[in-house]
Amino acid sequence: MEQSFQTLGEFIIDNQSDFQYSTGELSRLINSIRLAAKTVNYQVNKAGLVDITGSIGSSNTSGEDQQKLDVYANDVFIKTLIDRQIVCGIASEENDDFICVNSSDGGYNNKYVVLMDPLDGSSNIDVNVSVGTIFSIYRRVSPPGTPVVLEDFLQPGNQQVAAGYIIYGTSTMLVYTTGHGVNGFTLNPAIGTYYLSHPQMTISEDGRIYSINEGNYVHFPIGVKKYLKFCQEEKDDRPYTSRYIGSLVSDVHRNIIKGGIYIYPTSSKAPNGKLRLLYECNPIAMIMEQANGKASDGYQRILDIVPTELHQRAPFFCGSSNMVRKAEEFMSS
Ligand code: AHM
Ligand code: MG
């Protein structure tokens, strides 16, 4: 492979000046995520070789089966961030409560909190399907010098200072934004370096892919049912193509590159949807908007929802802006 691209390390340093009064803390934080992602990538890639796949028999906070690799990824990200004393708090989809982290002087002086889904789509690991890590970064609202509080984590997504995902796919990519567009870096596993392979990623305004678990059709709200019929109608550039991996990061990543919509709506079985606002919807919504796309709960902008609970769920519609707008029209009709 031709190695003429800029590395992620170089990119982070070159773009540090985007942040006024930056102390380099955010850059060091993204560096820590980059490092943890390499470690997780190494384990995910050899999942079939060692006895690391499968369930460990315990449940996470939402009562779902925790996979061994979920636990492993959760530990790696948390340990990497704690060891570097780079954040003041961490909340994870896999933990019941948030974690308070000391700064290097033993106080509570760091500025940022991280919220993450350490291994999303992990039920796909046993069958060798791509999974991902999703992360979201906020500036704390409580005064530095004091331990973090719940309010530091319960901020609307429009307050995110950075967000991103790592996709452990046919190749491993780290895609992130600090509010200045979206950039994607591909890992060269031979030398363990990420290169800027997808600069300034954007999603087309219109797309022809819809991604939804249609097995739940009978339980969907009427607006979603009507939108699906619209997608399947033989008219203009329709019918659209249906593609659903069941791994949010993979479905979203494909849709950004090819154009499309991802929907996880409410249903009679899941009245608030399935995805978690803080760990999944908000970071993906920031990426989508920064890539010129749109993210909604069917009625309003995801990033404007004021959260009330750490593990809150939200219905999620994201992707090509005209497709999301059309789905919203059906939801309100
Ligand atoms: P998880 O966080 O427990 O892995 O669940 C999130 C995943 C998403 O990656 C995916 O889009 C969705 O759940 C699939 O759910 P379903 O199997 O109900 O279609
Ligand atoms: Mg998840």
Residue, of 61 and 146, whose pLDDT is higher: 146
Residue 121 CA to ligand 1 centre (angstroms):
5
Tell which atom from ligand 1 comes closest to the C-alpha of 250. Answer: 9
pLDDT 10s digits, 286-314: 999 999 999 999 999 999 999 999 999 99
Q: Nearest residue CA, atom 16 of ligand 1? A: 246
Please say whether the beta carbons of 167 and 253 come within 8 A. yes
Task: Tell me the average pLDDT of the chain.
Answer: 92
Residue 95 CA to ligand 1 centre (angstroms):
17
Class of domain 209-332 as given by CATH: alpha beta
Tell which atom from ligand 1 comes closest to the C-alpha of 70. Answer: 4
Please say whether the beta carbons of 67 and 56 come within 8 A. yes
Q: Which residues of 111-126 are buried (b: 16+ CB within 10 A; e: fewer)?
A: bbbbbbbbbbbbbbbe
Confidence of residue 24 (pLDDT cuts 50, 70, 90): confident
pLDDT 10s digits, 216-235: 999 999 999 999 999 999 99
Tell which atom from ligand 1 comes closest to the C-alpha of 275. Answer: 6
Third-level CATH fold of 8-198: Fructose-1,6-Bisphosphatase; Chain A, domain 1 (3.30.540)
Euclidean distance between CA atoms 42 and 39, whole angstroms: 5
- Predicted TM-score (pTM) of the model is 0.94
Q: What integer pLDDT is reported at residue 14 of this predicted model?
A: 86
Over range 122-130, report the average pLDDT: 86
Residue 260 CA to ligand 2 centre (angstroms):
20
Do domains 8-198 and 209-332 share one topology? The answer is no
Please say whether the beta carbons of 198 and 184 come within 8 A. yes
57 has a pLDDT exceeding 60: no
Tell which atom from ligand 1 comes closest to the C-alpha of 120. Answer: 4
Q: What is the DSSP string of 119-141?
A: EETGGGGGGT--EEEEEEEEE-S
- Ligand 1: which residues within 6 Å by Cβ? 64, 117, 120-122, 213, 246-248, 251, 274
Euclidean distance between CA atoms 285 and 77, whole angstroms: 22
Confidence of residue 124 (pLDDT cuts 50, 70, 90): confident
DSSP 8-state secondary structure symbol assigned to residue 313: B
| Domain map (residue ranges) of the chain | 8-198, 209-332
Euclidean distance between CA atoms 283 and 289, whole angstroms: 10
